[in-house]
């Protein structure tokens, strides 16, 4: 009797346990290092959550103040990168410009090739400060607008809105954006996080892992889904058009972005949290027709497809109500998720083993190679 274990194939690695992590879990509800996501969204700021992910626990007041100071101090780009961003074709996708920016940032980081735990933490804190600046710089450059200098007196969400617009951010917008950053910050072994862990498992540097994760997040089946949400709602245009539009989409087997999740089968708690903020801003901005449309779409999707909203569904609407342009949505995801990605890179490298799975071969059986003149 053969002792060889049977090969088990799980398409998309669904259900496969590919590693261990102490950073987050989706089992029994999303938790970051043991803290429920609902409590974090209600009681903390993004900076506190980023500190938690990177340092293992929520910060005390002095620790948070020092962390904020370090991140704010890193809010600058080299003149070379600024010049590059301003020389890119205006039509360059925002995610492509950001991916390039992160790669260039590595060249100016004095510890880019140091993979020690402490050096990686310092690099992450710098990236937390630099990435929002790069996003805002490219956004304004592509529209022929002058740069807006960052402010050290503002938190991550407020400073980002300030740099985009050059005007004092609206408090309700700051809080809504901050909550979205908390909700997007970490999500276990998703596609982009797993990409980052695979890359750094080769002992490549942290910036390389974050560049790779950014590339993975660009796809519409992952981070790019939040952009497609508003495409759908803008195309439907009116609550009266919801049902006929969906029936046509179902008939043509069009995937409705913002619904369904590989892990959450009964709904994404993050979507329920952020929906409250989207509804509030819709009311304040006179755009409640989008919420009416969203509610009906949710009902039909659950009844006919048994699919529930995921975080991207309210996030796309929330950013629209804030007046943010669609190409910014996935880069905002990056400025949040870099905290989670980096925590995973640090964790992987602290106890590293090269990630190298096997494939099930389905090609031709063994066959001989015929000389060129005998191949007919």
Our answer to whether residue 114 is catalytic in this structure is no
Q: Which of 187, 312, 320, 344 is catalytic?
A: 312
- Cβ distance 258 to 311 under 8 Å? no
374, two tokens? 């005998």
Which residue among the candidates 96, 114, 222, 295 is catalytic per the annotation? Answer: 222
**113: Cβ contacts below 8 Å, ≥ 6 apart:** 205
Question: For helices 94-107 and 117-142, what crossing angle results, to 10°?
Answer: 140
Known catalytic residue at 107: no
Q: Which structure tokens are listed for 277?
A: 């903020």
| 373: its two tokens | 């003149």
Provide CB contacts within 8 A for 237, sequence distance 6+: none
DSSP-based helix, strand, coil % in the chain, nearest 5: 60, 0, 40
Q: Nearest to residue 197, comparing CAs of 357, 30, 27, 33?
A: 357
Active-site residue, 96 included: no
A 10 A CB-CB count for 69 gives 11
Closest of 6, 9, 39 to residue 182, by C-alpha: 39
**Considering 261, 268, 320, 344, which one is annotated as catalytic?**
261
- As annotated, the active-site residues are 222, 261, 312
């Amino acid at each position: 009797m053969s002792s060889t274990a049977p090969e088990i194939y799980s398409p998309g690695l669904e259900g496969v346990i590919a590693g261990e992590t102490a950073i987050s879990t989706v089992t029994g509800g999303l938790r970051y290092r043991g803290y429920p996501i609902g409590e974090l969204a209600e009681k903390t700021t993004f900076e506190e959550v980023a500190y938690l992910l990177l340092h293992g626990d929520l910060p005390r007041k002095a620790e948070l103040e020092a962390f904020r100071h370090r991140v704010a101090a890193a809010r600058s780009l080299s003149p070379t990168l600024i010049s590059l961003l301003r020389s890119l074709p205006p039509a360059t996708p925002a995610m492509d410009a950001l991916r390039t920016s992160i790669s260039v940032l590595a060249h100016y980081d004095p510890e880019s090739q140091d993979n020690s735990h402490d050096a990686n933490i310092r690099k992450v804190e710098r990236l937390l400060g630099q990435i929002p600046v790069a996003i805002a710089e490219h956004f304004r450059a592509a529209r022929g607008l002058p740069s807006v200098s960052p402010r050290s007196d503002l938190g991550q969400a407020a400073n980002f809105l300030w740099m985009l617009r050059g005007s004092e951010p609206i408090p309700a917008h700051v809080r809504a954006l901050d909550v979205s950053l908390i909700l997007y910050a970490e999500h276990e072994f998703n596609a982009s996080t797993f990409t980052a862990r695979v890359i750094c498992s080769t002992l490549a540097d942290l910036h390389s892992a974050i560049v790779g994760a950014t590339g993975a997040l660009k796809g519409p089946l992952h981070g790019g889904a939040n952009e497609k949400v508003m495409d759908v709602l803008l195309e439907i245009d009116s609550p009266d058009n919801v049902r006929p539009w969906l029936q046509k989409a179902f008939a043509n087997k069009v995937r409705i972005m913002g619904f369904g999740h590989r892990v959450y089968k009964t709904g994404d708690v993050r979507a329920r949290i952020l929906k409250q903020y989207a509804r509030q801003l819709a009311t304040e901005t006179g755009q409640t027709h989008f919420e009416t449309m969203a509610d009906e779409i949710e009902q039909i999707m659950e009844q006919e497809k048994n699919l529930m909203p995921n975080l991207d569904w309210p996030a796309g609407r929330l950013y629209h109500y804030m007046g943010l342009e669609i190409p910014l949505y996935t880069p905002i995801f990056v400025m949040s998720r870099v905290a989670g990605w980096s925590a995973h890179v640090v964790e992987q490298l602290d106890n590293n083993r090269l990630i190298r799975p096997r494939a099930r071969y389905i090609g031709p059986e063994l066959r001989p190679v015929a000389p060129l003149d005998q191949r007919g």
